């Protein structure tokens, strides 16, 4: 078994959160991780710090303090104008060896995944990817990472007793952002790392950013499954009427009825809408993890035995192709009479 570069005896009682940012603002996934780290260590002597990298980290570092972190370690360097896995790994590696946190957590975003994998190899430690929850034993310093395994059929609890830092990535949307009072004495600590242009392994030739749909921010989700048989027109109309977005299970995405960015669930987007309406969806675990934190779930399924009825607040046993147009009509009538 590989031996990590430092072990439990040398690790500090610290949870370090990797802070991703864009255009001067922290990404939502980082805000969720800050909340979770503060919750895990609440009332203890454990320290929670953020680690932020970039050519200008001032604004997002301040935001992290405003969200309750007592300390943010900032690595500012002119070459870090954008994420470069080689340079970022090198910088994080130096800081981690210096700080020796017991726990290091990152968002399971494209950059976070890339960085976490390289860093774990370099630190010779383990990495628990795509966790659905985290727990921390404050006495032993043991992080317990929850992941779903065997196609969602089991929940596995993973521990790394001998390796430090204990590293986990968590997908966007899994942790709620809690608003906590900022720490008055919060500090941003600049650390210098030795980096040069030769540490960059990629060159940016052109940046083209398309309009990005973020289903995790939608308050109303109308979700269609295989039972819609590719008929998403009415779901679009209902979503529009309710000011929401349309999401889907994997089968209609795989069959090309709807864009992949609208897939909800374990390998799609994890959402926390106020209202989720599921139409023609059986309720497989892989899908349910994407909506189980919704305030209210309404399920429409023709099969009274469908698993989805175990996860909903309101269940309608009926043909979705009949219920949806009736619902659209009733909402239109309602809105008409309230404007009359």
Ligand X SMILES: Cc1cc2nc3c(=O)[nH]c(=O)nc-3n(C[C@H](O)[C@H](O)[C@H](O)COP(=O)(O)OP(=O)(O)OC[C@H]3O[C@@H](n4cnc5c(N)ncnc54)[C@H](O)[C@@H]3O)c2cc1C
CB of 242 to ligand X, least distance (A): 19
Separation between Cα atoms, residue 235 and residue 279, nearest integer Å = 9
Binder of ligand X out of 177, 286, 309, 331 (CB under 6 A): 286
Separation between Cα atoms, residue 4 and residue 124, nearest integer Å = 5
Separation between Cα atoms, residue 143 and residue 135, nearest integer Å = 6
Question: Buried b vs exposed e over 213-247: b needs ≥16 C-beta within 10 Å?
Answer: eebbebebbbbbbbbbeebbebbebbbebbebbbb
Binder of ligand X out of 280, 291, 297, 315 (CB under 6 A): 280
Which residues within the stretch 227-266 sit at the binding site for ligand X (CB under 6 A)?
227, 249-251, 263-266
How many chain residues touch ligand X (CB under 6 A)? 27
Nearer to ligand X by Cβ, of 5 and 147: the residue is 147
Q: Put residue 229 in one of left, alpha, beta given phi > 0 → left and psi -120 to 50 → alpha.
A: left
The answer to whether residue 268 forms part of the interface with ligand X (CB under 6 A) is yes
The answer to whether residue 151 forms part of the interface with ligand X (CB under 6 A) is yes
The answer to whether residue 284 forms part of the interface with ligand X (CB under 6 A) is yes
Separation between Cα atoms, residue 263 and residue 250, nearest integer Å = 6
Bridge pairing between strands 71-76 and 47-54: parallel
Nearer to ligand X by Cβ, of 88 and 311: the residue is 311
279, 284, 291: which is closest to 319 by C-alpha?
279
Which residues within the stretch 94-133 sit at the binding site for ligand X (CB under 6 A)?
none
Nearer to ligand X by Cβ, of 148 and 178: the residue is 148
The answer to whether residue 270 forms part of the interface with ligand X (CB under 6 A) is no
CB of 182 to ligand X, least distance (A): 36
The answer to whether residue 272 forms part of the interface with ligand X (CB under 6 A) is no
Q: Provide the 3-class DSSP secondary structure of residue 148.
A: strand
Binder of ligand X out of 195, 299, 320, 327 (CB under 6 A): 320
316 phi, psi to nearest 5 deg: -120, 115
Task: Dig out the tokens for 224 from the structure.
Answer: 């269609």
Query: What track of x and - describes contact with ligand X for positions 172 through 211 (by CB under 6 A)?
Result: ----------------------------------------
| Contact between residue 327 and residue 259 where contact means Cβ atoms under 8 Å apart | no
The answer to whether residue 302 forms part of the interface with ligand X (CB under 6 A) is yes
Nearer to ligand X by Cβ, of 254 and 329: the residue is 254
Binder of ligand X out of 6, 18, 46, 287 (CB under 6 A): 287
Task: Provide the binding-site residues for ligand X, judged by CB under 6 A.
Answer: 151, 225-227, 249-251, 263-268, 280-282, 284, 286-287, 300-303, 306, 319-321
């Amino acid at each position: 078994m590989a031996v990590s570069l430092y072990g439990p005896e040398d690790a500090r009682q610290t949870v370090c959160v990797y802070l991703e940012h864009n255009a001067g603002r922290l990404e939502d996934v980082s805000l969720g991780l800050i909340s979770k780290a503060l919750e895990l260590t609440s009332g203890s002597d454990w320290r929670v710090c953020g680690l932020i990298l970039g050519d200008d980290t001032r604004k997002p570092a301040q935001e992290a303090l405003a969200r309750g972190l007592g300390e943010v370690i900032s690595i500012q360097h002119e070459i870090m104008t954008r994420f470069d896995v080689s340079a970022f790994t090198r910088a994080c590696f130096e800081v981690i060896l210096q700080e020796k946190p017991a726990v290091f957590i990152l968002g399971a975003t494209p950059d976070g995944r890339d960085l976490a994998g390289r860093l774990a190899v370099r630190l010779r430690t383990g990495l628990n990817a795509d966790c659905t929850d985290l727990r921390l034993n404050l006495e032993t310093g043991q992080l317990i990472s929850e992941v779903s395994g065997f196609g969602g059929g089991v929940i596995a609890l993973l521990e790394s007793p001998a390796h430090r830092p204990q590293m986990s990535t968590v997908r966007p949307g899994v942790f709620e952002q809690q608003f906590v009072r900022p720490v008055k004495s919060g500090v941003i600590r600049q650390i210098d790392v030795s980096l040069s242009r030769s540490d960059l392994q990629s060159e940016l030739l052109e940046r083209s950013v398309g309009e990005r749909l973020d289903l995790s921010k939608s308050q109303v989700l109308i979700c269609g499954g295989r039972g819609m048989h590719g008929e998403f027109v009415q779901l679009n109309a209902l979503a529009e009427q309710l000011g929401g977005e349309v999401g889907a299970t994997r089968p209609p995405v795989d069959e090309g009825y709807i864009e992949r960015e609208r897939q909800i669930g374990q390998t799609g987007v994890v959402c926390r809408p106020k209202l989720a309406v599921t139409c023609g969806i059986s309720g497989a675990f892989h899908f349910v993890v994407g909506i189980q934190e919704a305030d209210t779930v309404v399920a429409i399924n023709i099969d009274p035995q469908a698993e989805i009825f175990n996860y909903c607040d309101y269940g309608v046993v009926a043909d979705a192709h009949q219920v949806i147009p009736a619902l659209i009509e009733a909402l239109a009538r309602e809105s008409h009479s309230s404007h009359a």
